[in-house]
Amino acid sequence: MPTDDFIVTPWHVEGEIDYDKLIKQFGTEKISKQLLQRIEKLTGESHFMLRRGIFFSHRDLGRILDDYEKGKKFFLYTGRGPSGHTHIGHLVPWVFAKWLQEKFDVNMYFQLTDDEKFYSKQNMTLEETRLFANENALDFIVLGFKPENTKIIIDTKNIKTLYPIAAQVAKKINFSNTKAVFGFTNETNAGMIFYTALQSAPCFLEDKPVLIPLGVDQDPHFRITRDVAPKIGKIKPALIHNIMIPSLEGPRGKMSASEETTTIYTTDSPEVVKKKVNKYAFSGGQPDIEEHRKKGGNPDIDVSYQYLRIFFEPDDAKLKKIYDDYKSGKMLSGELKAILIEKINQFLKVHQEKREKARDKLDKYLLED
């Protein structure tokens, strides 16, 4: 890691990530065209997050498909560290997970790691992280998950189910392992050292293979799980990784839930969204209109364009037109931002309505110990 100019860990992402380099660094596999075609054949559909490389890397996805083709089903698992309100970047793997669930007709577990955020954030209490866990759960369930095949795990609430499984994992991990994988030091707290075992636990809730759609920054946890799995007689989890979603202020680093001005929350009002995008969204445009019309903008570094590509414009033809118009200088940065603001606010209007109605339904989704 020190030789590259970017850092990706579960608690810290920094620099402009070279995803091909990251694949080598982490030892994962790029999602090949063949694998893409296989998924399309099985699901009868091409998902824009796959064909655009938002999900770009995997571990053992081929094995999951092999098994599935032989009639052996898997289950899905993803999660979220509830350190604040959900931001739109968090929705990326969840929306993709929903699609996977529908297409493959499988169970889904969603883990809210209130304990982890308590351990990793100096000033947060367990009460606060538990509160955000409940809030974040609302954002998850309104994406269309059904209580019949979707269970939400809150670490402190479901610890009775998780702990005996985590204990099997923890017995096979030593401090050196956590040092090597997470860069922990002698000053790292005991909660953090143990915690990775709790993030492993949901992988073994069912006696089936698991597939985990997740941000690539979470890969180190499951590198440990994959090392431990055979030692405790379990199947290694398979992973499918999405890229880091850039913060409003630019592509260096992922959107952070703790920085209000660089993050759009699912709870933001239309006015706040408008203000945040207009004020903070990093632009690929030229300094003035004249120059922009002449030289054109750079959509590849423009955050508004990237948000459309990653999440808000699934239609390839429409996206291409925006790309071309912006690149040619025909579309100005303000116009591009206006498109994004409109898209986000359309999405959030529906999302927020459903979100409030979901409060009463939440209990049906919570895992019973």
Q: Which residues form the interface with its own copies (CB under 8 A)?
A: 115, 118-119, 126, 156-157, 159-160, 163-164, 167-168, 170-179, 184-191, 193-194, 196-197, 369
Nearer to its own copies, 149 or 188 (CB): 188
Is the Cα dihedral 354, 359, 365, 366 positive or negative? positive
Closest CA to 191 of 112, 133, 134, 114: 114
Place of tokens 């180190």: 220
CB 57, min distance to its own copies, A: 27
User: Residue 308 has which token pair?
Assistant: 């459309």
Nearer to its own copies, 68 or 184 (CB): 184
CB 188, min distance to its own copies, A: 6
Nearer to its own copies, 138 or 173 (CB): 173
CB 87, min distance to its own copies, A: 25
Distances (CA, A) of 93 to 136, 169, 213: 14, 25, 6
CB 74, min distance to its own copies, A: 26
Nearest-10 Cα torsion for 50, 306, 93, 62: 20
Contact between 174 and 196 (Cβ < 8 Å): no
Nearer to its own copies, 70 or 160 (CB): 160
Cα gap 27→31, rounded to integer Å = 13
CB 191, min distance to its own copies, A: 4
CB 154, min distance to its own copies, A: 11
Contact between 59 and 28 (Cβ < 8 Å): yes
Nearer to its own copies, 234 or 254 (CB): 234
Contact between 85 and 136 (Cβ < 8 Å): yes
Nearer to its own copies, 60 or 115 (CB): 115
